Chains A and B, each alone.
Chain A
């Protein structure tokens, strides 16, 4: 359950941002980008987020997770391909190892949506 630790890191990072805002605005949504070639399970992350934000400044905030597919680039073939996670990672055309990952390793807090009354 490293998603618990990752959620803790997420909350701390958002907290730092929130503390730096003079208005301390209510956070509505947190947008995450999670690659499919990471050890992170979005469902576990959602669950951990819901539990850990209870009675905090993030209570009720929505966690929006965008998953990015695993895409590799084969240099001998000069083309991109999508490996079958769990089955095969080498290039389907020439069998070269997966070396150059172009997408799928992301673990990023992309942006925050917040509300202001005026």
Chain B
């Protein structure tokens, strides 16, 4: 296995480091804050690199690491605890000046920046129409590994696909979930495989002579009887054809899974620790929406894209069979998404109360809402309390800003776009489609109600001046835009600070008739000489949103960074942080 950079290893091997660490944390806490500086643009991660080796990680090891080692390491992360206690948690490392990420080998802005049409949502990552069914497929590898059978085929065009099946008692369950989640994760911006629903006649399957199976420890060629035996465990339609999901082999050469923690030492492009990447922290919100409880490194893949020595690693999310109401081989249970595999907090609560403690999922009925959907509803769904099966290091590091960023991704999906993704599942029963759509919409709305209240949700700030020289900041308030707060009920307090110019002014604002929030600073006069260095030219405009004429609850402030133009002696917007 190739090494990953792991902070916990350092902690374990060097007890003396703990003392230095604590001293460092104390030093950080005592140091005065620096002058505001805008972040540098994130590093590009698609530069040519030498072809890395392949990582191997076993599922059992991943279970132990994520359930025991990492939670312990997080518990001992004193600087992080101090920072959170002071309201200053460690923010994501790969941010640009707009509190966002640049397009990269991890993430590309799609629906959140330019709304996709329903047709584009349905097409998703697909560049074709799936495996060619005009000629028999040839099984080139695979067999009976896993509970649900799957194998790899090559079509007449020479493309390879992994063919995955649904559990016999739950037709369309896993394939439907995987289709919907693929479309939505892709449209949100993540890299996903090309997945296609296929219906085929198993009688037409050929077997490559090199394909073997292991029987009682002996390796022998695969036969048609092996295929028939394997397909007896999958369901069929009335016409005898088999429904399956065809997942096309990804472009490039596989280099093993990527971890949600640390960096890949053999990838020079991998400069940010994964748990501090915004797109992985913010993925929590999408994972909660789609109940991607199996978000662990076993369901990720690095692909080396390009010629040897000229390519780079592209980072994929793969295998969405355990999303929504599907647990791949069985429906999800009510506990999936509500409790970690080994949830120490709930364990202690039950132990202390002699088993009388009831977790939030326990009152929820544990039955599938539909055989093709499994257990997937908005009942009991808590956008901030949702949990993957294993504690995920990136999810655990998420801050309110990361969650807000993820909420914006979820909010970017309209009802019609979600309906289009659900249709891609090809449910044979319209009732299943309706139930799935209703659950996704209800969960999305809960996410919005939560995510647009944990920060001041302003976007697209712009500064103008009127003829009297009044500084006017206008912005879009997403809580107002999505109808979570009435326009008349929304107000703002704002404070302009520019230490280099000895300016500190406060004012209030409200939502104008055109729906945009507005604050005005009258009489901001720049009497001092302009500082020469760039840092001294940055001013901060802090905005707090209030519900209900200032008497309601307020949200943590958003900071709009203003840059003073020496020529015009006026400010312009240079950045934003929530």
The finding on whether chains A and B are genuine partners in a shared complex, rather than unrelated, reads: no
